[in-house]
Structure 1
């Protein structure tokens, strides 16, 4: 059965504590300066209140930021209303001055807030809430969501392209010397894990199968499959984008039970254990960036996605600052009756006419038919559709798409959105100028079906099983394979120095057994990372039905 909260055991030497009394018991002995760093969406005022009894000196670094006008000049400064270039600024650019606290009469000083680690300190903690909280706070208009602007209304563009890159780099540099991690998702019941124990836990996780915590958000096109079948967000308007493994936002639940678990960033495991997770060759190419993502697009009972494309690599590098681009694939886990996948230009597509119709839709609300310009393929269950950067595409209504893609995920260059309003009733933004600057016009017509709707090719097989290549293109750095296992069948594999990502797309599930003796039982629709350090492992079909498992890896 699909698990909403997959949990991993901490390393034996790790110490976990839950609740404010237990957290306070781990405060360093005086005299000392304790710095507690973390993102703006932590409830810093409550943290200060709960720890005030332990100190007579609390220092809020948010009071030392530069004036708002100076902070707003940091990071992306162009007038693009849709996208920004990833900010390269260090966090200390936010500050006019930094405090220099010293313990008085042998006491404990607690310095807290985003950037607290920049203050001279004796002990360093990191308080955290996952990024999904920041996005929700920004969407709700909660003041203080943006970094360095504690009293201002939020700016979602700034959050994505300025705040998150700055915060991630800052956090990653702190990871090797953290004294503790504090999960503040429930501000009245925080969970604390000691720093050495956290690093030992990451080292343990990096050498066995790892499943990150999944969740679904809601958007105007979203469907209801994940609500009805998996139990996600039953009170929400829909379930749209399912975060199975999107490395910059993914978290790993570590703990012994729901009241004693901390969610820690998947990305920190890649920072602390890059070769074990990624493999030496992949690490050399991508640094600590985990380059493949798995997510769901749920339009079952929902609408068509916008027709869009993604930036080609030179444009992505020069304009947005990512070193690699957003190639994608759609694996059709479920295809609705009569449902479609929009993919690639027709042979007779006239780009000038296409552009004029897009402009009319964006400026005057004139409807258009994307099928005048773009192929519409039947949404065939089990088919993989290749979507190299620049290719116009969209999932139609009625589908459950497993999107197996490159990790960059914030650059959907929309052409047309079916004149659909956003959640507030306003027209959804259409950054079509970016889209036409990246539109792939060379591959069209018959080449779309030939290159981008491939048929499976058997790679190897044995008794009761077969491994197929279901998608590979020279221009894409990863490929997608699929195992077909008969009931009760087993197949052996080996990471051979490159991580694998698995997802059960048909059947009840598989057991994943490593040579070291670790076992993970993976259910239908679940995603699992098999780090490079795992080496040989075995897939065993479970349940009473044949099973299919997709696998993605860097080529």
Structure 2
């Protein structure tokens, strides 16, 4: 392994007015006090400050600070106007199903959470408060008053939401499930809370007067809506990185800890989420200040410039490519698993597309393997029976190698995994996983007789899995279609390009470039995601100076928006004179 140069806090510099960011409640209160009288309000209307909140925002702190600073006539909390928790639990029960992991995508909105009588009463109260200051906070504040004097959007990153769920600090939207298992809170947030809140965010954020970063409760930060829009516009015109986060797991290893310079404490780091815009954050730099927003905000605000016309036309405001790390170096095997076929994903979960993926080996120990596809002449019914037996009887472990292929895994190998293919990475591997985005839809088939970090068995999904495993994907087919299928594509002075996949069933194309000199690239109107898989560092540049040079380090993932067009990559710094490599992914069109 090597010393770490990995940047854990990348940011997009924003050219904005001096002191654009107000940090801390005193400065925030002063900015809001100054903005309220300056806003145009008819004399027969109340002066309304609506603070629209992403679910998980600390409403008690928000209410306390704003009431103390602004002394409003009244402070309404949108959550107090919801239906009863029992009624909301009943409303979401259908989409959530009784499965511990999977639900069904649905059309619920934040408006569905409100009790009509309570909402009407609150709106009548507003109508009688002409000329007075009223503060409304919570998820749906702008539904209580659709035409407020000022709108503040209080935002929160999904990774921070997950940490608060695990600490028992927050419940789900409209619920009182503070003590429920964090995994069930996450499931409910994924299928209900975040979907509903994102529908409202798309309407509110473009017209917000201010953005309030609530990720750090000790140091909230406020910027104007204009400065937020300037930051988003800056990001979509240049290569950028999202803020990575890391999590331990029962099979996790130690490679990420060293290479990415992660803190001691957790027993391992199993996952590294380096490009998952639905859950990663984007840091906007205003001078020395950093404002954290969910990176999905950029997808919502500039989908055409970021994704490109064809990709946006196909996927809408979803970012379809995911890069993440799976670390088993010094760890154990991943769970044996399979992903749903497209039709199954749609029929059972409402997904428009499924999780096709691939494993690119960033590193591997000498005896590392990847489990992929079934062996020739393997008895599929017998395999299912043995999987069920292993689930029912811990004394009867599943004989994986009798049914599933083991392929040696070496650094820079690439294994393609279209949905329906039984697979997992073995111990001793450092995987760069490249996949489509619906990433929670993994059917675990066997977990190698172990418990999760919480001491409980992890959920197994044999029924789902059995309906999706393709038993005809056996050794010969896998070798011919899924293992290290390299195809030279192009070359130039100091560089060569190879096609490494993916399979024709998968919509993601991947290209690897080896280079000692400048490599020309072009987005061709579609978003691209790259990782520096070899070399200490490289520099990404615009041939016509359209963006500032952008330096990336080993193992860092970065996004090149469709709007960038032409760009180049070359070795930089310590990598000059050595051979580097990037792996690039984009949507086939």
Give the TM-score category using the shorter length.
over 0.9
Q: Distance in 2 between matches of 1:36 and 1:7?
A: 26
- Secondary structure, in 3 states, of the residue corresponding to 2:571? strand
Runs of 4+ in 1 over 4 A off after TM superposition: none
**Is the 1:310–1:412 contact (alpha carbons within 8 Å) kept by the matching residues of 2?**
yes
- Secondary structure, in 3 states, of the residue corresponding to 2:31? coil
Instruction: Quote the residue 1:546 is aligned against.
Output: 579
- Secondary structure, in 3 states, of the residue corresponding to 1:468? strand
**Is the 1:245–1:295 contact (alpha carbons within 8 Å) kept by the matching residues of 2?**
yes
Instruction: Quote the residue 2:344 is aligned against.
Output: 315
The offset of 1:461, in angstroms, is: 0.3
Instruction: Quote the residue 1:505 is aligned against.
Output: 533
Structure 1 segment 230-269 matched on structure 2, within 5 A = 230-256=260-286, 260-269=289-298
Aligned: 1:23 with 2:51: no
For residue 158 of structure 2, the aligned residue among 110, 118, 131 is 131
Aligned: 1:160 with 2:179: no
Q: Distance in 2 between matches of 1:122 and 1:495?
A: 42
Mark the CA change 1:404 to 1:228 in structure 2 (over 3 Å): closer, same or farther: same
Q: Distance in 2 between matches of 1:125 and 1:476?
A: 41
Instruction: Quote the residue 1:299 is aligned against.
Output: 328
* Paired positions, count: 551
Aligned: 1:70 with 2:100: no
Q: Using the TM superposition, name which of 279-288 and 437-446 deviates more.
A: 437-446
**Is the 1:512–1:538 contact (alpha carbons within 8 Å) kept by the matching residues of 2?**
yes
Cα-Cα RMSD? 1.7
Aligned: 1:95 with 2:114: yes
Instruction: Quote the residue 2:465 is aligned against.
Output: 435
Aligned: 1:52 with 2:67: yes
For residue 393 of structure 2, the aligned residue among 350, 364, 368 is 364
Structure 1 segment 175-194 matched on structure 2, within 5 A = 175-194=205-224
Aligned: 1:271 with 2:300: yes
The offset of 1:77, in angstroms, is: 4.5
**Is the 1:233–1:239 contact (alpha carbons within 8 Å) kept by the matching residues of 2?**
no
Instruction: Quote the residue 2:258 is aligned against.
Output: 228
Q: Distance in 2 between matches of 1:13 and 1:145?
A: 38
Instruction: Quote the residue 1:119 is aligned against.
Output: 144
Instruction: Quote the residue 1:453 is aligned against.
Output: 483
- Secondary structure, in 3 states, of the residue corresponding to 1:438? coil
For residue 145 of structure 1, the aligned residue among 157, 171, 174 is 171
Q: Using the TM superposition, name which of 228-237 and 385-394 deviates more.
A: 228-237
The offset of 1:442, in angstroms, is: 2.6
Q: Using the TM superposition, name which of 220-229 and 525-534 deviates more.
A: 220-229
Q: Distance in 1 between matches of 2:523 and 2:165?
A: 40
Q: Distance in 2 between matches of 1:69 and 1:343?
A: 45
**Is the 1:40–1:145 contact (alpha carbons within 8 Å) kept by the matching residues of 2?**
no
What TM-score comes out, normalization by structure 2 length?
Answer: 0.90
Q: Using the TM superposition, name which of 153-162 and 457-466 deviates more.
A: 153-162
Aligned: 1:196 with 2:226: yes
**Is the 1:292–1:407 contact (alpha carbons within 8 Å) kept by the matching residues of 2?**
yes
Instruction: Quote the residue 1:333 is aligned against.
Output: 362
Q: Using the TM superposition, name which of 112-121 and 397-406 deviates more.
A: 112-121
The offset of 1:473, in angstroms, is: 1.9
The offset of 1:203, in angstroms, is: 1.4
- Secondary structure, in 3 states, of the residue corresponding to 1:29? helix
Q: Distance in 1 between matches of 2:106 and 2:267?
A: 33
**Is the 2:256–2:327 contact (alpha carbons within 8 Å) kept by the matching residues of 1?**
yes
- Secondary structure, in 3 states, of the residue corresponding to 2:279? coil
Q: Using the TM superposition, name which of 8-17 and 112-121 deviates more.
A: 8-17
The offset of 1:66, in angstroms, is: 0.7
The offset of 1:257, in angstroms, is: 5.9
The offset of 1:150, in angstroms, is: 4.2
Q: Using the TM superposition, name which of 216-225 and 531-540 deviates more.
A: 216-225
The offset of 1:24, in angstroms, is: 0.8
Q: Using the TM superposition, name which of 169-178 and 43-52 deviates more.
A: 169-178
